[in-house]
Structure 1
């Protein structure tokens, strides 16, 4: 008999957040190491990340009884890491991981159930531009994703934008789970416009790794603003100061994070 009734609650514990790190926060350090406490403050983060991603993570999945085929799971884990922050084509993943498509679905569910992957659903509220219903997937920690991929994210590389986007996803997911309880989604129209995140029913967020955001970078936010469905349209970037371009507010990363955790 379950005597807990309606009192049982599910709580999630995430890697370190901007607010938890306080004065210890450094964006490039976080992107290079991720937010697992023992690794963020490690004297040898590459070695610790390699150990975590290479053996501990897989052994934990096996210990949970989720899979016994560790070789197939290892291949799938690496392919999944390269799908980070993307809409996943499961047929291509099956080919790359050399496993049946049904196994890919099964393993992605395992990765979601063990909180290694987060699924970000498509937002479908637009009318003028028909939205896609597909989901995107994000690793729970950018340092672990990079270690499984076998590379490091550095400013100036093409992958750095993916890393900043994944980091912002981490902060938004943590804020939603710890504070607001609001749903997260992303928007992509069949015409090609895409906005990284929709927070609740009020805010669209596009992430850019640029220090000088151009009008071309804002096209998707502007297109979404034309739908008049949300209250705020934000571009989170590496620019030094806040500025306004039409309906879009361009925000430095730290200012955005302060506003987020202050509930603004």
Structure 2
């Protein structure tokens, strides 16, 4: 059993959101002590409570009063949002019972105007496995090629490829449409292909719209779907003016390197230097993002780029202060030219620690830049959060 980094509330009710195959159901079942488990992916339970949400209350009351149940889990709560009204009432009537609601899509709940329990339940997010969770069994090359979804852990290479291909073709394209999230499946499918190809790049939504035959508003909406379904994360450029930042071009990273490769039909391909570099950058960004989430930190991630093209891959900003500037290089050797973006950034931000994270063996200095092995960076990441 892999010990996850996430800290779940011990007594209060909570939402646990995460993309499919991140291990939500397994984690909740492992922590369920005296509970009743409702799985809305099961057709019988789904149709029962979809037609009659009030029946969930009747069943819950019986479980609590007659069977002594103190925990009730509702898996994939976004499939029947009306249950939240019943849960709201039950929390008020039975304060000794906690409700655990998991979901692979927060979109229906966050944007559907449904009852979010008035602050009576906190929120947690579960991500694919991190380096620190797998540490002794972690292999960087495998992670870059196939990602770290829990659903792929322990599988053979062929089984992993099949799982990721099915995830990309079935879930991302078909199930998102079946839940009414993206009605134009053909357009969304074309968008996914382009989004995967632009993974980690600065996004020009107008240009992407032209490539896949969609309006700029549709592209904007589809990127929003990726965020809301926890499939993509958005990294904005660092601009001190929040207003200007909103209108600037962001970067988007898919939530898992294996899914990125699956969408690009690159699961059986080797890692050439260019692809490896992009995937390594994605890996470091995702690991940083996941640690911020798990530590409940108020830190934010940005990238920095000047009009002349000087760029830093990642800034960690907390309470308006830049905690660290990080350049990411996949090579096993590092030289002064690799630090150009960091040096340019440091000229106007002399008090910010500068780091270059790479696949090197030992840490060292290049001028005022600390060059760190990627393992050392991840092991010490919390100090900048």
TM-score, normalised to structure 2, is 0.63
Alignment-derived partner of residue 209 in structure 1:
330
The aligned runs of 1:60-209 (5 Å cut-off) are 60-125=175-240, 133-152=248-267, 154-179=270-295, 180-200=297-317, 201-209=322-330
Q: How big is the shift at 1:57?
A: 2.1
Task: Name the CA distance, whole Å, in 1 between partners of 2:195 and 2:264.
Answer: 9
- Structure number with greater CO (CA < 8 Å, separation at least 6) is 1
Q: Name which of 345, 357, 360 aligns with 1:236.
A: 357
Q: Between Structure 1 and Structure 2, whose CA radius of gyration is higher?
A: 2
SS in 1 for 2:333: coil
Alignment-derived partner of residue 256 in structure 1:
377
Does the aligned pair in 2 maintain the 1:239–1:251 contact within 8 Å?
yes
Distance 1:230 1:114, change over 3 A: farther
Does the aligned pair in 2 maintain the 1:34–1:40 contact within 8 Å?
no
Does the aligned pair in 2 maintain the 1:204–1:230 contact within 8 Å?
no
Task: Name the CA distance, whole Å, in 1 between partners of 2:203 and 2:164.
Answer: 25
Distance 1:263 1:100, change over 3 A: closer
Q: How big is the shift at 1:242?
A: 0.3
Does the aligned pair in 2 maintain the 1:118–1:140 contact within 8 Å?
yes
Deviations, residues 132-175 of structure 1 (Å, cap 9, x unaligned): 94211100111101110111464443111110000011111101
Distance 1:59 1:192, change over 3 A: same
Task: Name the CA distance, whole Å, in 1 between partners of 2:342 and 2:314.
Answer: 11
CA RMSD in angstroms, aligned pairs only = 2.1
Does the aligned pair in 1 maintain the 2:310–2:344 contact within 8 Å?
yes
Structure 1 stretches lacking a partner, 5+ long:
127-131
SS in 2 for 1:225: helix
More divergent stretch after superposition (155-164 vs 166-175) = 155-164
TM-score, normalised to structure 1, is 0.91
Does the aligned pair in 2 maintain the 1:154–1:160 contact within 8 Å?
no
| Residues paired across the two proteins, number | 259
Structure 2 stretches lacking a partner, 5+ long:
1-84, 93-116, 242-246
